[in-house]
């Protein structure tokens, strides 16, 4: 294990030019829609105009007869799979028995041009039996309208569950200590209900793929995805083929944030290619992306927290329900493992529910489940700090989780220093500054919030091929969501003690590198990073062996220094270039490799955010004045990218807090499926997001990396809402804090505190 300080590294911790930025800025990066094949067809999906309806019949004859139409598919053209797991995934791509949300695919067409494909969709006749819709957690929980006859309430704790059909398909209870006892010890108990809306990840690149079927041999899909191995596995199961019969090539990805982890059009395109005998390209429009491509779950929660007068939290209790959309998918585990896990509170209890309804099936969204769960916790803690007359950071320092804390995070926390993050926030120029004085028309507010994420581990593979000129080609299986390629190359360069320019870094497709889990959960630089370091050390060991063999000394006498094998005793050295050029004659070309499985949760990361707002009391509009993110990165391999993660996560959370929400009409039709009506933050809406990187090395990673992608989206919902609460002196418990809602809060009394 390598626990050097940053200044002991040559490359790690520096800020070299970002090669992926060049490709992207010059338009050369090839995204999902940038692939073309000779004779390629264009695929389009017919989507349901109803949010809930039984499909009685689909007549595709007229569409098939249209000149230029090469194939038409419905759900019946796919292998029949039971309605659960992979069968649900297939049904979500193309409905089989029922449509379950507005925009749900019912048929797909491949034609010579997009115009013909679109014309063909109009010729498909679908007979629907329209059913009533259910659009909210409360309504869904009543089970008056049942979406799936086969779903009932499962729980890991219940051996023989009641199998009466229910929209509540999962119910989990996690508890430590004795919550009742904890509340009995409390001097102050607060309880509130919180709501967060369904939101979209807002990635800029819509889902897109190109598929080429081969009846013998291997079919190929090019797709924009966070995990091409999983896409291969899922599509292969939907189409019932061997994994070896399908190659999935990941393209450059224009954002995913958890939303590009499962197939949307890949299986459809492949089936259309199979039936037409031609390659088929499918690109979702922005509107389709909003309507169909898995948004983040909305939630309803009730949280109760008790503390002593001196500020010691004695009990935390929550009930939280996640929207899952049309099929089971909610991030219950991620939410429950984050909700209270920043704190060392002996009595914690969470009851979590996941509920289906007639909305698009949700997918992961950055720190899945954690932002929604943390919104209530941190908002309530801010209110509590106010009532206890405690500085909100001091209040948290009194209760923060420490090494050895056992809470609902999924185990005992180790090698953490969360106080360091809180202290960095406390000592920041931002927190030390004063905020504006309220006027009649403007309220100023500041709040903080903390966010916990366990960070992912999981399976990664890496290889490094040494070239004859001493340069190297590094390959991993991790889709590059955020410039991870260069950070991985930096670790390889550090190990090889070579200039970074000599290391090419590539994402291998499913055929050219060992299995690697999906990029997500802040796992890549941690788990794939470890695989890269191990693979590079393997290559270095082989180079040392070759040199040792040439000098006729034991390999133990050879060290690796400045890109050279060195034998101090003989006063000999051999450059990587010479070893590699000669490698074919000393045992063959040199490749180092590793595959590993890093357990989850071993390197959690805390984020502390500070937010200053000004609220226009006449319009309810909130202006962000200053925003600081503090986070433990373990080690920032390339600080530019780490800062980018901290800023990007914060901004997504700010959008969630202020403006973003799916707006459905009463029939379940999404009213704002586009960036004009679904407002994500623009640069002009925001101050510069200030960043403070704390580095408490993860002892299980050779460079101490923890992972940084998820934590920054966890605190902003509470930080922004609490700052607004502070500015308008009224609790904000429902998101987004859009001008109408803030205005309404100003004009009415907020929900009453139970104490």
Which of the residues 278 through 337 are near its own copies (CB under 8 A)? 279
Single residue of 155, 218, 428, 549 touching its own copies by CB under 8 A: 218
Asked if residue 212 binds its own copies (CB under 8 A), the reply is yes
How far CA 609 is from CA of 198, 376, 630, in Å, comes to 23, 15, 6
Instruction: Tell me the closest approach of the beta carbon of residue 546 to its own copies, in angstroms.
Output: 12
Beta bridge partners of 59: 125
**Judged by CB under 8 A, how many residues of this single chain contact its own copies?**
69
Instruction: Tell me the closest approach of the beta carbon of residue 261 to its own copies, in angstroms.
Output: 17
Instruction: Tell me the closest approach of the beta carbon of residue 476 to its own copies, in angstroms.
Output: 11
Instruction: Tell me the closest approach of the beta carbon of residue 459 to its own copies, in angstroms.
Output: 4
CA atoms within 13 A on the CB side of 340: 31
Query: Among 316, 350, 313, 345, which Cα is nearest to 187's?
Result: 313
Asked if residue 671 binds its own copies (CB under 8 A), the reply is no
SS (H, E, C) 383-450: HHHHHCCCCHHHHHHHHECCCCCEECCCEECCCCCHHHHHHHHHCCHHHHCCCCCCCCCEEEEEEEEE
How far CA 255 is from CA of 201, 261, 365, 485, in Å, comes to 9, 11, 11, 15
Asked if residue 749 binds its own copies (CB under 8 A), the reply is no
Nearer to its own copies, 55 or 236 (CB): 236
Beta bridge partners of 47: 105
Instruction: Tell me the closest approach of the beta carbon of residue 517 to its own copies, in angstroms.
Output: 8
| Range in contact with its own copies (rule: CB under 8 A) among 210-218, 608-616, 649-657, 719-727 | 210-218
Nearer to its own copies, 245 or 553 (CB): 245
| Range in contact with its own copies (rule: CB under 8 A) among 392-400, 458-466, 652-660, 727-735 | 458-466
| Range in contact with its own copies (rule: CB under 8 A) among 15-23, 76-84, 546-554, 689-697 | 15-23
Nearer to its own copies, 210 or 613 (CB): 210
| Range in contact with its own copies (rule: CB under 8 A) among 7-15, 16-24, 694-702, 747-755 | 16-24
Beta bridge partners of 111: 42, 69
307 Cβ neighbours under 8 A, 6+ residues apart:
186, 187, 188, 313, 314, 384, 388
| Range in contact with its own copies (rule: CB under 8 A) among 141-149, 258-266, 589-597, 667-675 | 589-597
Residue with tokens 């209040």, as numbered in its chain: 395
Binding mask 687-726 for its own copies (x = CB under 8 A): ----------------------------------------
Q: Is 389 left (phi over 0), alpha (psi -120 to 50) or beta?
A: left
Single residue of 359, 465, 544, 706 touching its own copies by CB under 8 A: 465
Cβ-based neighbour number of residue 383 at 10 Å: 21
Which of the residues 502 through 541 are near its own copies (CB under 8 A)? 502-504, 506, 508-516
Evaluate whether 451 touches 374 at the Cβ level (below 8 Å): yes
Single residue of 209, 307, 364, 459 touching its own copies by CB under 8 A: 459
Which tokens sit at 736?
Answer: 């987004």
Nearer to its own copies, 243 or 442 (CB): 243
| Range in contact with its own copies (rule: CB under 8 A) among 374-382, 386-394, 469-477, 554-562 | 469-477
Q: Phi and psi at residue 567, in whole multiples of 5°? A: -115, 105
Nearer to its own copies, 280 or 416 (CB): 280
The span from the CA of 120 to the CA of 110, in Å, is 9
Asked if residue 415 binds its own copies (CB under 8 A), the reply is no
Nearer to its own copies, 67 or 217 (CB): 217
Single residue of 461, 478, 519, 730 touching its own copies by CB under 8 A: 461
Query: Among 319, 351, 324, 355, which Cα is nearest to 169's?
Result: 355
| Range in contact with its own copies (rule: CB under 8 A) among 123-131, 154-162, 403-411, 454-462 | 454-462
The span from the CA of 371 to the CA of 416, in Å, is 21
Query: Among 386, 396, 513, 412, which Cα is nearest to 451's?
Result: 396
Asked if residue 549 binds its own copies (CB under 8 A), the reply is no
Nearer to its own copies, 215 or 389 (CB): 215
Query: Among 49, 63, 65, 58, which Cα is nearest to 121's?
Result: 63
How far CA 538 is from CA of 25, 80, 462, 532, 711, in Å, comes to 35, 46, 11, 10, 33
**CB neighbour class for 145 (10 Å; exposed up to 12, middle 13-18, buried from 19):** middle
Nearer to its own copies, 514 or 648 (CB): 514
Query: Among 39, 477, 43, which Cα is nearest to 232's?
Result: 477
Instruction: Tell me the closest approach of the beta carbon of residue 534 to its own copies, in angstroms.
Output: 10
Asked if residue 227 binds its own copies (CB under 8 A), the reply is no
Instruction: Tell me the closest approach of the beta carbon of residue 461 to its own copies, in angstroms.
Output: 6
Evaluate whether 267 touches 238 at the Cβ level (below 8 Å): yes
Asked if residue 30 binds its own copies (CB under 8 A), the reply is yes
Which of the residues 555 through 584 are near its own copies (CB under 8 A)? 583-584
Nearer to its own copies, 37 or 398 (CB): 37
Asked if residue 130 binds its own copies (CB under 8 A), the reply is no
Nearer to its own copies, 117 or 280 (CB): 280
601 Cβ neighbours under 8 A, 6+ residues apart:
337, 409, 410, 411, 454, 455, 457
Instruction: Tell me the closest approach of the beta carbon of residue 246 to its own copies, in angstroms.
Output: 8
- Cis-peptide into 736, omega within 30 deg: yes
- Residue numbers of the site for its own copies (CB under 8 A)? 17-20, 22-23, 26-28, 30, 34, 36-39, 212, 214-218, 233, 236, 242-245, 247, 277, 279, 458-459, 461, 463, 465, 467-469, 471-473, 475, 501-504, 506, 508-516, 583-585, 587-591, 593-597
């Amino acid at each position: 294990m390598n626990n050097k300080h940053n200044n002991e590294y040559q490359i790690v911790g520096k800020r070299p030019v970002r090669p992926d930025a060049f490709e992207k800025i010059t338009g050369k990066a090839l995204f999902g829609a940038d692939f073309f094949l000779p004779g390629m067809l264009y695929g389009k999906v017919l989507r349901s105009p109803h949010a809930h309806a039984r499909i009685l019949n689909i007549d595709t004859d007229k569409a098939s007869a249209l000149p230029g139409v090469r194939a038409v598919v419905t759900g019946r053209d796919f292998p029949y799979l039971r309605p659960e797991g992979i069968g649900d995934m297939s049904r979500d791509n193309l409905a089989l028995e029922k449509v379950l949300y507005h925009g749900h695919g019912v048929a797909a067409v491949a034609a010579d041009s997009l115009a013909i494909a679109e014309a063909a969709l109009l010729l498909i006749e679908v007979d629907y039996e329209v059913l009533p819709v259910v659009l909210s957690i409360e309504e869904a929980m009543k089970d008056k309208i049942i979406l799936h006859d086969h779903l009932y309430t499962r729980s890991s704790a219940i051996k023989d569950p009641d199998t009466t059909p229910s929209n509540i398909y999962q119910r989990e209870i996690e508890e430590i200590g004795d919550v009742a006892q904890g509340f009995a010890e409390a001097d102050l108990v607060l309880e509130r209900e919180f709501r967060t809306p369904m939101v979209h990840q807002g990635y800029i690149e819509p889902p897109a793929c190109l598929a080429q079927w081969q009846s013998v041999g291997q079919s190929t899909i090019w797709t924009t995805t966070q995990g091409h191995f999983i896409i291969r596995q899922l599509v292969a199961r939907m189409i019932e083929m061997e994994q070896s019969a399908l190659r999935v090539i990941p393209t450059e990805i224009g954002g995913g944030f958890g939303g590009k982890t499962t197939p949307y059009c890949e299986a459809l395109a492949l089936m259309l290619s199979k039936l037409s005998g031609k390659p088929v390209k499918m690109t979702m429009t922005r509107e389709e992306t909003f309507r169909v491509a898995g948004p983040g779950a909305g939630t309803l929660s009730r949280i109760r927290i008790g503390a002593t007068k001196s500020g010691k939290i004695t009990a935390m209790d929550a009930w939280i329900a996640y929207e899952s959309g049309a099929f089971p998918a909610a991030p219950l585990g991620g939410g429950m493992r984050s909700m209270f896990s920043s704190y060392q509170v002996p009595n914690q209890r969470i009851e979590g529910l996941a509920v289906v309804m007639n909305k698009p099936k949700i997918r992961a969204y950055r720190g899945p489940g954690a932002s929604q769960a943390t919104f209530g916790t941190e908002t309530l803690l801010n209110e509590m700090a106010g009532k206890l007359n405690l500085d909100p950071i001091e209040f948290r320092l009194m209760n923060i989780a420490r090494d050895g804390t056992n809470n609902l995070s999924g185990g005992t926390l180790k090698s953490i220093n969360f106080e360091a993050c809180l202290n960095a926030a406390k000592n920041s120029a931002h927190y030390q500054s004063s905020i504006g004085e309220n006027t009649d028309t403007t309220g100023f507010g500041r709040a903080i919030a903390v966010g916990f994420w366990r960070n992912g581990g999981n399976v990664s593979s890496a290889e490094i091929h040494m070239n004859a000129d001493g340069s190297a080609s590094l390959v991993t299986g991790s889709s590059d969501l955020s410039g991870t390629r260069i950070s991985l190359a930096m670790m390889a360069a550090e190990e090889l003690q070579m200039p970074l320019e000599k290391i090419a870094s590539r994402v291998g497709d499913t055929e050219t590198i060992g299995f690697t889990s999906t990029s997500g959960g802040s796992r890549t630089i941690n788990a794939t990073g470890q695989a890269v370091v191990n693979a590079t050390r393997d290559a270095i060991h082989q180079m040392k062996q070759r040199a040792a063999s040439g000098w006729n000394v034991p390999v133990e006498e050879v060290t690796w220094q400045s890109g050279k094998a060195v034998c101090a005793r003989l006063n000999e050295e051999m450059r990587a270039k010479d070893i590699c050029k000669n490698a074919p004659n000393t045992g063959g070309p040199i490749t180092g490799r590793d595959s590993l499985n890093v357990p989850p949760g071993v390197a959690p990361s805390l984020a502390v955010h500070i937010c200053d707002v000004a609220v226009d009391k006449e319009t309810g509009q909130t202006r962000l004045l200053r925003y600081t993110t503090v986070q433990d990165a373990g080690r920032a391999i390339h600080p530019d990218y780490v800062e980018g993660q901290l800023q990007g996560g914060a901004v997504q959370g700010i959008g969630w807090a202020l403006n973003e929400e799916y707006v459905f009409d009463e029939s379940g039709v999404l009213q704002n499926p586009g960036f004009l009506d679904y407002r994500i933050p623009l640069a002009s809406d925001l101050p510069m997001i200030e960043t403070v990187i704390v580095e408490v090395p993860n002892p299980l990673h050779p460079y101490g990396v923890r992972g940084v992608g998820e934590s920054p989206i966890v605190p902003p919902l509470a930080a922004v809402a609490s700052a607004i609460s502070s500015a308008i002196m009224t609790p904000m418990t429902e998101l987004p804090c859009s001008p109408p809602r803030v205005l309404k809060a100003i004009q009415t009394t907020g929900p009453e505190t139970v104490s």
